[in-house]
Chains A and B, each alone.
Chain A
Amino acid sequence: MTLRKYLLKRVAVGLITLWIVASLNFVIFVLQPGDPARYLLEPGMKPEQKAMIRIEYGLNESLDVKYVKYLRNMFSYGLIPPYFGISFKTRTSVASEMSWRMGLTIFLLGITMVGRILVGIPCGIFAASKRGSKTDVTVMGVALLTFGVPVFFLELLGIFIFSYLANIYGIRIFATGGGLGGPYNSMLEFIQGAAWHLSLPIVVLVFAGFGGWALYTRNMLIDALTQDYVVTARAKGLSERTVLYKHAFKSILPPISTMITLAIPGIVTGAILTETVFGLEGIGKWYVNALNPTTPDYPVVQAVLFIFATLTIIFNIIADLLYGVLDPRIRVGARK
């Protein structure tokens, strides 16, 4: 089918998925036992104030009205009032907090992804070029090792080691205090301090994640190096380096780029653990704090879930499209 039809179909399916997710969200929270306003009301309120709060939050209306309002709220993405609802904790709109938290999360994870690719792919190439040798085994061993170690444990270990070094021996390499650091007076200070505090999370995340890229690149490259045209190139007398980069690696660029596009959806949801460990005020930590049993923050939870689902769907659609564009084998195959 043509690209346009495919795109429309994907978008339609995506919208339906979003609607299902939003409805699921709604149903989950509506079915909860207990008075939904119990987190909003304070003990000393007069009955009129309680009634006002109920009206303001729309708790008195019937279920279908609530549902329609909820859908309208969610699908407006915080651009028109009620701006994704009002957070129970801070009594401001959810959308206003979400913007800067989202910025931090995307910044952190974007740099992580770029770092992983930039470290992982050269490692994979290096290992493939020396297949079977000790360097290959060591590089692949380290990569496989990082598969097995949970990311949050590496982060905890990182914090432990560097705080031990800093507190007992006075050697300060990375900041382990958590968060983005103390009050900053100027933009320059903020950039410096934030970079200093973000360095440990980024280093640990890159170290924990480069293994997948290295392994994948190595496997693809080994497969490519067994092809006939490589034999020809070598027979022609080309240097190993040219063979490796200009012929073999270029031939595996399509699958690698599809992997890159497939990794993008992971950016959004991958931050929950890291932000909890390092105390960074991003979307993940906000979400976890909103889900604590004594003072839950339902508008935040609903909004964040919806945003997660939206971003995942959008990135998946983009990945699907780019998949077709970047990998000519798929295009050719479809035409058959």
Chain B
Amino acid sequence: MEFLILEFVLERGSRESSKTMSGKIEPRRSLRVAIVSILIFALGIISIVLGATSMFLGGRLTEDWASQLWVNFAVNGLIMLSGVTALIDICVGVIYLISGYLLLKGKNLEFGAVLALGMGLVSLFIFGIGGWWTLINNVVYKGIGVTYLRIILLGLIPMISGALGLTMQREEAKTVMGRRIRGFWEDFSHNKIGLVGATILFMYIGAAILTPVLSLGINPDQTDLADDLVPPEWLTVFNPSLNTLPRSTVYTLGWKLDNSSIPEFISSSSSYNVTMVGNETIFKFDQVTFPENKSICIVLNTDLFNYPYDPPRGGGFNVIFSARTDPNYYYKIGNATVSTSRALYNVEVNFTNPEQTFSIWDAEWYLNKLSYWRQGPETQMKLLPIILPPAQTRLLKTKQTFSVSLAADIYWAYRMGYVDESGGVDSNGLARTLFSKPGNYSFKMYIFISPTTSAGTLRPVSFSLKVSSIKLTIRGLLWGVMGTDYQGQDVWARVVYGIKISLAIGLAASVVSILLGIVVGIVAGYLGGTVDELLMRVVDILLCLPSLPLLMVLVYIYGKNVWYIIILIAVFGWLGLSRVIRSQILSLRETAFVECASASGASRTYIMFRHLLPNVLPIIISDFVLSVPAAIMFEASLSFIGFGDPSTPTWGREFNRMWIEGGAFTHFSWWWILPPGIAISILCMAFVFLGHAVDEIVNPRLRRRR
């Protein structure tokens, strides 16, 4: 108690002396002041310019403009928060201007510095959170540059300058504050548990800032990166036999026309043309009369590609094949109009593995209709159209142009097995038969053209074919740092993205609840009387409400929005703190220095926030440190039951997915179950350790008996 009075006297005294010194800045300090103030001033101008350009130029820019660097930043800023950023930039810039001006003028140095510091903190908060939010919801990594630029330019630099500005003030206050901080640090650094907690916390914050780097650039929402529920890749270190398991690969193979398959009468015609444009092969001829009524076969080959692994569980083919043929030929028989095409076309795609060849697509078109056949040359196993039901080939018909996107999912067929030529069902699965051995594989495409006759004469045929390269996607059975979940999404990326969201939610809810608790506690404690009664009744009533069930109902009714959840957690979180603060204030109210302060004419607000608040600061700090993990776990529990925001990738949502939808437990996928739990546990433990250390410092009863 005496210590506090001494401090109070010292503070009053120093303020008196510094008041007489105001306006006079010692010469050795003026350089620092000038630098700092010019910096902040310049930042203010930059910020206003940035905001103005976003606002005025944003809508009228084209892609060419956007290639210039600074304009790119402005445009990206606009894309990110659609004009709100521009407004924020301008407001922030104005405030920095004011603070820089104040610093320059020298009259209100401290206010200017505090303003810059505060604004820096606030913009750090805003851009940090805003940037994290857009990075989560809009996984377009274009915006990341401008976020970091903003955080550094408008957040960190003003903060540091403001802090520097503050250090130039009031030597006495500086030493008092410095002494306090140094004392705290001395106590803290001896507490090993606290140090461990602090280190872990800083690592998490670093991970939250560096999320795109830490998650190895993988988008957490991208599905089918590998097969569902596959283990991580580093298991091969412990079990080398897993090395033969397939990894996710995409084979892109271009088609090469086999020139020997093109008959003379076509290749010698003037309209014959073969080109390769990009990854597409274009082949055409125009109005060529076939010499005989026999079909020709045009062959397209791909190169051999090497597949060195065990058979996969799933994957897919994709090739876009479009052809243009002659229009139909109409003739009348009696009253009916019959149309025939000038030729019959048949297309077949074969897949060759080291042991056999399979026909994976077989179609003919005749009279502008595509239908499926079952035969083709060189095939030993027929794969029935169950792998390629017509629904999966999208047929776009414009006049005589057929464009078929041939895409097939092997996994689907794996589930169903397939029927071989003799009618037996092979339950090994399609993928295992197709990719039976590691070795060289290839594709072949056959195009059959048979001209039709009209009144005995062969009709000339026009044909034009465009084939894109065939893409074979294999879904791996080992993947990444932490494997995949039930939709093929990368678990490690999801956990890393969960860090910043969970931290953000926990910190935001805690900060709001702390502020509420402080204000209510101090006001109720100091003012007393009816205000006290009223506030304490409110606290009593709110304390008696069951928080989780009520929260569930409110979320159910008003929608699952993460902002609601933050506010609701905060509303339930401030009650305990306000009670504790109030009881402390009740005892502090009667002390001498408070009496002195009010006797010297200090207003009640001044006493409350200038004298009482610093004395309850230890309680507040220790409560804050412990309320963050409580908020994080509360949100995780809410998301786990299913009442969280489904668009935010928190860890609680991960648990919900793995428990209700995922089947992680039936497949014993420890790589999905453990990481989110371990992440949240370590984070909360770091806070608990920190809180324990702070508790030991703050609570004098726990100190050792000297």
Contact = CB atoms under 8 A, between A and B. Distances in A.
A37 B673 CA distance: 41
A43 B540 CA distance: 47
A20 B549 CA distance: 16
B544 A313 contact: yes
A32 B629 CA distance: 33
A305 B688 contact: no
A157 B673 contact: yes
B641 A273 contact: yes
B544 A160 contact: no
Contact of B545 (A149, A276, A312): A312
A222 B636 CA distance: 34
A226 B193 CA distance: 23
Interface in B637-684: 637, 640-643, 655, 659, 665, 668, 670, 673-674, 676-677, 680-684
Interface string A192-228: 0000000000000000000000000001001100100
Contacts of B680: 149-150, 153
Contacts of B633: 150
B549 A287 contact: yes
Given A144-B689, A150-B633, A223-B701, A273 B640 contact: yes
A304 B546 CA distance: 11
B688 A153 contact: no
Contact of B543 (A21, A288, A316): A316
A17 B544 contact: yes
Nearest to B664: A160
Contacts of A276: 640-641
A164 B537 contact: no
A301 interface: yes
Interface stretch (B347-355, B431-439, B514-522, B552-560): B552-560
A272 B549 contact: yes
Interface residues of B, number: 48
A153 B545 CA distance: 25
Given A14-B544, A16-B541, A160-B670, A32 B557 contact: yes
A309 interface: yes
Contact of B687 (A148, A272, A305): A148
B546 A268 contact: yes
Chain A interface secondary structure, helix, strand, loop or mixed? helix
B702 interface: yes
The 8 closest A-B pairs by CB, nearest first: A148-B685, A148-B684, A153-B677, A308-B546, A149-B681, A269-B546, A17-B541, A147-B688
Contact of B556 (A159, A291, A308): A291
B57 interface: no
Contacts of A168: 668
Interface in A5-63: 13-14, 16-17, 20-21, 25, 28, 32
A112 interface: no
Contact of A147 (B550, B677, B685): B685
Contacts of B556: 291, 293, 296
Nearest to A33: B557
Contact of A153 (B550, B643, B655, B701): B655
A150 B681 contact: yes
Interface string B273-297: 0000000000000000000000000
Contact of B549 (A163, A308, A313): A308
Contact of A150 (B546, B637, B689): B637
Contacts of A157: 673-674, 677
A304 B556 CA distance: 15
Interface string A159-197: 110011001100000000000000000000000000000
B12 interface: no
Contact of A152 (B554, B640, B682): B640
A291 B553 contact: yes
B629 A305 contact: no
Contact of A13 (B540, B553, B629, B682): B540
Nearest to A152: B640
A28 B684 contact: no
Given A152-B637, A152-B655, A147 B665 contact: no
A316 B673 contact: no
B701 A304 contact: no
Given A152-B640, A273-B640, A160 B668 contact: yes
B170 interface: no
Nearest to A291: B556
B181 interface: no
B677 A305 contact: no
Contacts of A111: none
Interface in A279-313: 287-288, 291, 293, 296, 301, 304-305, 308-309, 312-313
Interface string A299-336: 00100110011001100100000000000000000000
Given A144-B689, A160-B668, A149 B541 contact: no
B586 to A, nearest CB: 12
